[in-house]
């Protein structure tokens, strides 16, 4: 975050509704701790906050928001009061207006405080903020939602580490004797055995996804409207509220592997102990057995990343799926299989609720709890060059409580593999330090290319290809001459082919539903067509095929549109009882939706 950390100055809004006096205790307080640097997510976030003003606090419920949005340049605290009634017609109007590109939402609630020069990723800021909420908005029950650019177990300037986050909640409890009844954490890899171990007894219930989740995926406005209706006219106990949230979260499609864990459950200790026993049994195997028998089971265990971009913090696999595979492998020692079976039972016991709405389509062998399971543990490469001083090649995993309580990190070290290129460089005599710097430089360069050049290069490749329909002479793009656009176009075409082949392999190996393979294949074919058309400017024997390649490049978006319509029509026919929707109706709905997305 581009804000100076901590020690921030505070500016009170004297016209606000709150003078920070101790209020009467209500049934519930919901605290939303929102932090994003992604401008692309801001509009959706502001829409949800605007919808939240249709909910508002009441006699039973406090809604408190603390948020940082880049355009504000500061952190703002709000006590959300209702400004208008929650009505379907108003919601539709608001959502439709959000499609207007220049539409900006502005909150009617005024901030009760503004904090300058603070970093919401600092655990001390979170700790002080939670104390502030408990002091000024007391209630019998507390729900905390952390919403932002979370990347799971990754620790960087972009997020608070789970270890520090847990310590902050512990410090709050020590001073106030209050801890969250429900803790909802946005982002990836929240419902992992590592996070559960770290947060044990820090809150009553934890809600999160066990795998990959998109940014800002918590439907908080929709849920708080349901929660308000629930506690005003019915049960307001913790279990009823969490079941209500769980239902809304899943029906909204916020994530595919949502799980609720009872953090006060003593079974957590038993699960950690059982996992440690399995790790000890795994360590008894020799290196050959680990490579030949265990490594394939790791790859076979349910992969929860759902993306071929294998970042270290996305190397999450389903814990129960892995342990089941071991327990069912007849060529492994009986003691190991027995330990794995015990691990399955104990880890299953810590799950309070688990979403299975999308299992068949995406993660059929997921069970609700993930575990960090990379095949290159302790050998992660920096994404920045020069390598930051605080960079740790295990991403700080060994500092987590779960690592200290178990032998899992020792097992991950034993199973860790080096890539072919790294092995080759070691054989050539390069030191590990030099190799790490080479990889850091490569990763840094690739990120710069992706962020700054890739989009332009793709446009150049497309323009060169389409130009080939009627011309055999390369042309520049605006002020960029052909000797730059042509090589960048060729590089972009190769990148498109490679990325789609990698994605296709990932989908084929890991995703049960293969429908997307057709679209991926069309994208790869376009990359090949662009490559032929671009290279044909330099290689004469490709010239006869170049116009056809250019025409295919030009027509592909329409080809993909009609393929998508076909997929939608096919899925409707297969999945719904009332399947009398025609192909024409499906096409109309598809293109209307696409037009709406274009307006956004």
> Could you identify the residue written with the tokens 């293109």?
591
How would DSSP label each residue in 545-594?
A: GHHHHHHHHHHHHHHHHHHHHHHHHHHHHHH-SS----HHHHHHHHHHHH
How would DSSP label each residue in 13-65?
A: -TTSS---PPPPPEEEEEEEEEE---HHHHHHHHHHHHHHTTT-B-SSEEEEE
- Return the closest-CA partner of residue 253 out of 143, 358, 407: 358
Position 600 confidence tier, pLDDT thresholds 50, 70, 90: very low
Q: Give the percent of the chain with pLDDT over 70.
A: 88
Contact between residue 68 and residue 59 where contact means Cβ atoms under 8 Å apart: no
Would you say residue 506 has pLDDT above 80?
yes
Instruction: Write down the domain spans for the chain.
Output: 9-265, 269-349+359-387+398-422, 435-599
Contact between residue 325 and residue 300 where contact means Cβ atoms under 8 Å apart: yes
Give the global pTM: 0.85
Residues listed for the chain: 600
Would you say residue 290 has pLDDT above 70?
yes
3-state secondary structure of 331: coil
pLDDT of residue 359: 56
Position 194 confidence tier, pLDDT thresholds 50, 70, 90: very high
Would you say residue 599 has pLDDT above 90?
no
| 113 strand-pairing partners | 12, 77
**CA-to-CA distance for 600 and 593, rounded, in angstroms?**
11
pLDDT of residue 158: 37
Q: Give the percent of the chain with pLDDT over 90.
A: 58
Position 162 confidence tier, pLDDT thresholds 50, 70, 90: confident
Position 595 confidence tier, pLDDT thresholds 50, 70, 90: low
Mean pLDDT over the full length of the chain: 86
pLDDT of residue 428: 96
* R_g (Cα) of the chain, nearest Å: 27
Q: Give the mean model confidence (pLDDT) for residues 88-95.
A: 83
Q: Give the mean model confidence (pLDDT) for residues 193-216.
A: 87
**Between 562 and 217, residue with greater pLDDT:** 562
Position 17 confidence tier, pLDDT thresholds 50, 70, 90: very low
Q: Give the mean model confidence (pLDDT) for residues 432-456.
A: 94
pLDDT of residue 156: 34
CATH architecture of 9-265: 3-Layer(aba) Sandwich (3.40)
**CA-to-CA distance for 408 and 96, rounded, in angstroms?**
50
Contact between residue 572 and residue 580 where contact means Cβ atoms under 8 Å apart: no
pLDDT of residue 16: 36
pLDDT of residue 582: 73
Give the number of other CB atoms < 10 A from CB of residue 427.
8
pLDDT of residue 9: 32
Judged by average pLDDT, the poorest of 1-5, 110-114, 214-218, 553-557 is: 1-5
Judged by average pLDDT, the poorest of 269-283, 519-533, 565-579 is: 565-579
Q: Which DSSP helix (H) or strand (E) runs through 351? A: strand 351-354
pLDDT of residue 425: 96
pLDDT, tens only, 320-342: 999 999 999 999 999 999 999 99
Residue 588 is encoded by which pair of tokens? 């109309």
Q: Output phi, psi for 70, to 5 deg.
A: -50, -40
């Amino acid at each position: 975050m581009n804000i100076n950390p901590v020690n921030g100055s505070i500016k009170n809004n004297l016209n606000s509704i709150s003078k920070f006096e101790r209020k009467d205790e209500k049934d519930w307080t919901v605290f939303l701790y929102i932090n994003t640097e992604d401008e692309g997510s801001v509009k959706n976030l502001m829409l949800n906050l605007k919808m939240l003003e249709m909910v508002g606090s009441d006699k039973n419920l406090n809604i408190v928001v603390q948020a940082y949005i880049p355009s504000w340049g500061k952190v703002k605290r709000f006590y959300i009061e209702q400004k208008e009634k929650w009505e379907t017609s108003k919601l539709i109007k608001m959502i439709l207006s959000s499609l207007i590109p220049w539409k900006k939402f502005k909150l009617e609630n005024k901030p009760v405080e503004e904090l300058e020069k603070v970093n919401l990723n600092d655990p001390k800021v979170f700790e002080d903020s939670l104390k502030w909420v408990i002091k000024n908005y007391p209630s019998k029950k507390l729900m905390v939602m952390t919403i932002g650019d979370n990347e799971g177990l990754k620790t960087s300037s972009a997020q608070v580490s789970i270890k520090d986050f847990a310590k902050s909640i512990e410090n709050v409890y020590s001073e106030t004797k209050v801890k969250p009844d429900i803790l909802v954490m946005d982002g990836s890899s929240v419902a992992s055995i590592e996070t559960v171990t770290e947060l044990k007894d820090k809150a009553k219930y934890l809600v999160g996804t066990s795998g990959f989740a998109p940014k800002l995926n918590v439907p908080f406005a929709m849920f708080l409207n349901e929660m308000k209706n629930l506690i005003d006219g019915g049960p307001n106990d913790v279990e009823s509220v969490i079941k209500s949230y769980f239902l809304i979260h899943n029906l909204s499609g916020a994530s595919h592997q949502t799980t609720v864990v009872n953090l006060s459950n003593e079974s957590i200790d038993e699960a950690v102990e059982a996992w440690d026993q399995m790790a000890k049994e795994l360590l008894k195997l020799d290196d050959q057995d680990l490579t030949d028998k265990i490594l394939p089971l790791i790859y076979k265990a349910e992969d929860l990343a759902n993306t071929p971009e294998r970042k270290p913090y996305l190397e999450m696999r389903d814990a129960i799926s892995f342990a089941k595979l071991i327990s069912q492998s007849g060529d492994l020692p009986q003691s190991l299989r027995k330990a794995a079976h015990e691990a399955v039972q104990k880890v299953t016991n810590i799950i309070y609720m688990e979403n299975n709405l999308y299992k068949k389509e995406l993660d059929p062998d997921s069970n609700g709890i993930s575990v960090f399971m990379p095949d290159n543990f302790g050998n992660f490469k920096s994404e920045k060059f020069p390598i930051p001083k605080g960079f740790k090649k295990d991403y700080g995993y060994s500092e987590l409580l779960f690592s200290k309580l178990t032998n899992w990190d020792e097992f991950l070290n034993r199973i860790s593999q080096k890539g072919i290129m790294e092995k080759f460089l070691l054989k050539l005599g390069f030191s590990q330090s030099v190799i790490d710097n080479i990889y850091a430089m490569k990763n840094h360069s690739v990120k710069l290319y992706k962020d700054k050049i890739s989009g332009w290069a793709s446009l150049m490749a497309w323009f060169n290809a389409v130009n080939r329909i009627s011309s055999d002479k390369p042309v520049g793009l605006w002020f960029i001459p052909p000797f730059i656009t042509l090589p960048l176009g060729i590089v972009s075409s190769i990148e498109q082919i490679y990325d789609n082949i990698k994605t296709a392999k990932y989908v084929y190996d890991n995703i049960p539903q293969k429908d997307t393979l057709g679209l991926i294949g069309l994208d790869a074919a376009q990359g090949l067509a662009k490559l032929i058309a671009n290279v044909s400017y330099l290689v004469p024997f490709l010239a006869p095929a170049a116009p056809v390649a250019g025409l295919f490049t030009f027509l592909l978006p329409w080809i993909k549109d009609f393929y998508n319509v076909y997929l939608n029509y096919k899925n409707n026919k297969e999945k719904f009882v009332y399947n009398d929707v025609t192909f024409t109706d499906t096409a109309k709905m598809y293109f209307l939706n696409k037009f709406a997305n274009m307006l956004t």
